[in-house]
Amino acid sequence: MTMVEVALAALILMGSASASAQIWARSMAGIHSAQQRQLALNRIDGELILLQNHWQQLAQHGPLAQSCRAASEQLLDDLQRTPLASGVDRQLTLLTEEEGLLVTLQDHNAPQARRDQLVKPAALHLCEEA
């Protein structure tokens, strides 16, 4: 083997080792961020279950108000006082075209992990007239 062949082989080896190391690092970063996203999704799912259970408990005590608009506003007030897991954002929108409250949950670390939960007081008999 000549000196030139040895140098060429060393270059090829170094190039492929460097490329492999880059792919390895990128893949490890990808796997790490996938784990973070999965955790975010689980966190939001957990918040959603707590929310649904809370509404079911409220519904066991009968209507909050006669009017569904007033009941939606009470649900809004109630949620504004309810604590939230750290890392999760909650956006509350009182709907104007229909009586209801839209709750959007989103994670700081993975904004794609988002849930939109609609609650209509009339569906849970929390009000008696539209």
Partner 1 sequence: MGLLLSSLSLQATSLQSQLRFRSQLQARSDQDQLNQAAQRLVSEINLHHPCLLQLPSQDWARDGLDCIDGNRAAWLIQGGQGSPADVRTLAWQPDANGLQVMLLLALPKAPGSTAPGGTGRRGLFAIGLGGDPVRAWSIQEQGLLGAES
Q: What are phi and psi of 109, to 5 degrees?
A: -80, -20
Q: How far is the CB of 5 from partner 1 (least distance, A)?
A: 19
27 versus 82: smaller Cβ distance to partner 1: 27
CA distance 103 to 117: 5
Q: How far is the CB of 46 from partner 1 (least distance, A)?
A: 13
Q: Is 5 helix (H, G, I), strand (E, B) or coil?
A: helix
Q: What is the DSSP string of 12-48?
A: HHHHHHHHHHHHHHHHHHHHHHHHHHHHHHHHHHHHH
In the chain, count of helices (H) and strands (E)?
A: 2, 3
6 versus 102: smaller Cβ distance to partner 1: 102
**Interface with partner 1 (CB under 8 A):** 16-17, 19-21, 23-24, 26-28, 30-31, 34-35, 37-38, 41, 45, 52, 56, 59-60, 68, 98-100, 112-113, 115-125, 129-130
Q: How far is the CB of 77 from partner 1 (least distance, A)?
A: 20
Q: How far is the CB of 31 from partner 1 (least distance, A)?
A: 5
